[in-house]
């Protein structure tokens, strides 16, 4: 009788273990669904790529949402490209307003400006104050939970006040020259893809490919004065450019690592700008083929969710821009420049489908804007 009793006991234990495992799976799935709902409520239009799971059915190609994923989605974005993807079939419309202010007091070599590089010209002691306002409309659409498309259309207005005193002409008074310009900026088109399923021990890796079209007025497209000239007789711009004047292709990788209580992120981007033949005479200078130079950008930072509605982020962004090169021209090549910014961001949830994000950029290198303010208000549909 004893062996039979043991067999019955073994059957009962196995049955209870199966029931317990099924209950644990059901409880785990319920928690996953709850986390997914929290993400959708707290992050309008933006979430780590994870489809809504069903009870008893595992999500294909993505892990279940977790508290770390929710935290990653809630941090205030401070970089130009957000670190989280638009869910499949969703559309995000993001109006933004950006203001940049720069003030330089220096004895420098001034010439044609191919933003953000400076092309060599003649020595000129001067003070330059520049204010730039950019209003943009950005759209993002999630093709899949891992792939999204993006388009950005900017409108740019810039105003510059230059106070100069030529060193080589013995001038006793300052010369003031004001210029301004506004219009369509450079349109950007791109796509972003999430490579892996991140988690508590693995960062999320997101790649990006962004193309810039020279739809704005470049520095060689604006008009020049026939009366007002810089030292040496070179004409000055009578209006400010609204674009770079060159095509650009940007390739980047972004890593996001949720770790309680903060979310760490870092990115690396490389921008290639192909040369083009300007073939234009400006004053006494013949401008032929121009290579505007490439750039490498490194960014990193951290974000903290303060509560269900508010978040705070801080980071740093540094860009190295190679010098501009001229061919078949009397202009000399320019030197490379360093552009560094300290970034501070705040985010607040306005409604289940809308949030507001404010970013402050503080220039820490010579060629960076002294101050930069960016307001983004994404709407989810």
> Shortest CA distance to 253 belongs to which of 294, 303, 300?
300
pLDDT at 174: 66
**DSSP per-residue codes, 85-129:** PPPBT-EEEEEEEEEEEEEEEEEEEE--EETTEE---EEEEEEEE
pLDDT at 199: 73
Q: Considering all CA atoms of the chain, what is the largest pairwise distance in Å, rounded to the nearest integer? A: 119
pLDDT at 151: 97
Is pLDDT above 60 for 342?
Answer: yes
pTM exceeds 0.85: no
Mean pLDDT for all residues in the chain: 77
> Taking a C-beta distance cutoff of 8 angstroms, is the pair 100, 339 a contact?
no
Is pLDDT above 90 for 210?
Answer: yes
pLDDT at 45: 37
pLDDT at 68: 47
- Least trusted range by pLDDT, from 70-84, 144-158, 284-298: 70-84
pLDDT at 116: 42
- Whole-number Cα distances in Å, 375 to 83, 94, 134, 187, 315: 17, 10, 11, 19, 17
Is pLDDT above 60 for 73?
Answer: no
The three-class DSSP label of residue 147 is strand
Is pLDDT above 60 for 34?
Answer: no
- Least trusted range by pLDDT, from 82-91, 93-102, 294-303, 357-366: 82-91
The three-class DSSP label of residue 187 is strand
pLDDT at 235: 66
Whole-angstrom Cα distance, residue 89 to residue 145?
Answer: 9
pLDDT in tens, 258-290: 887 888 899 999 999 998 888 888 777 777 888
Per-residue confidence band for 49, with pLDDT thresholds at 50, 70 and 90: very low
pLDDT at 230: 54
- Least trusted range by pLDDT, from 123-137, 158-172, 211-225: 158-172
pLDDT at 297: 94
pLDDT at 326: 79
pLDDT at 119: 37
Report all structural domains of the chain as residue ranges with CATH numbers, in order of start. Answer: 75-380 (2.40.160.40)
Per-residue confidence band for 109, with pLDDT thresholds at 50, 70 and 90: very low
Residue 145, sorted as left (phi over 0), alpha (psi -120 to 50) or beta, turns out to be alpha
């Amino acid at each position: 009788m004893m062996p039979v009793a043991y067999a019955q006991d073994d059957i009962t234990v196995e049955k209870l273990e199966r029931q317990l495992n099924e209950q644990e799976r059901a409880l785990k799935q319920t928690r996953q669904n709850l986390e997914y709902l929290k993400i959708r409520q707290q992050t309008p239009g933006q979430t780590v790529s994870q489809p809504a799971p069903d009870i008893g059915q595992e999500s294909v190609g993505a892990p279940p949402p977790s508290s770390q994923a929710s935290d990653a989605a809630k941090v205030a974005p401070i970089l130009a490209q957000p670190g989280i993807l638009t869910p499949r079939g969703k559309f995000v419309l993001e109006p933004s307003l950006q203001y940049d202010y720069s003030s330089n007091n220096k004895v420098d070599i001034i010439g044609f400006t191919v933003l953000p590089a400076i092309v060599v010209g003649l020595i000129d002691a001067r003070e330059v104050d520049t204010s730039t306002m950019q209003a943009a409309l950005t759209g993002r659409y999630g093709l899949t939970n891992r792939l999204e498309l993006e388009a950005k259309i900017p409108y740019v207005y810039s105003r510059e006040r230059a106070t100069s005193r030529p060193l080589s002409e013995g001038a006793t008074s300052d010369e003031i020259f004001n210029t301004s310009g506004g219009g369509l900026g450079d349109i950007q088109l791109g796509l972003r893809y999430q490579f892996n399923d991140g988690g508590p021990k693995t960062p999320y890796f997101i790649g990006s490919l962004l193309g810039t079209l020279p739809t704005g007025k470049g520095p060689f497209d604006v008009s020049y004065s026939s009366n007002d000239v810089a030292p040496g007789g070179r004409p000055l711009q009578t209006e400010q450019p609204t674009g770079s004047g060159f095509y650009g292709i940007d390739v980047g990788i972004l890593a996001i690592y949720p770790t309680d209580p903060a979310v760490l992120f870092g990115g690396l981007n490389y921008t290639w700008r192909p040369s083009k033949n300007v073939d234009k005479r400006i004053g006494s200078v013949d401008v032929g083929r121009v290579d505007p130079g490439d750039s490498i950008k490194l960014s990193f930072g951290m974000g903290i969710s303060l509560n269900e509605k508010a978040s705070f982020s801080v980071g740093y962004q540094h860009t190295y821009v190679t010098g501009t090169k001229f061919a078949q021209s009397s202009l000399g090549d320019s030197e490379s420049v360093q552009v560094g910014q300290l970034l501070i961001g705040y985010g607040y949830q306005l409604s289940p489908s809308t949030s507001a994000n404010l970013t402050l950029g503080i220039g820490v290198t010579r060629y960076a804007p002294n101050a930069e303010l960016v307001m983004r208000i994404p709407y989810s549909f």
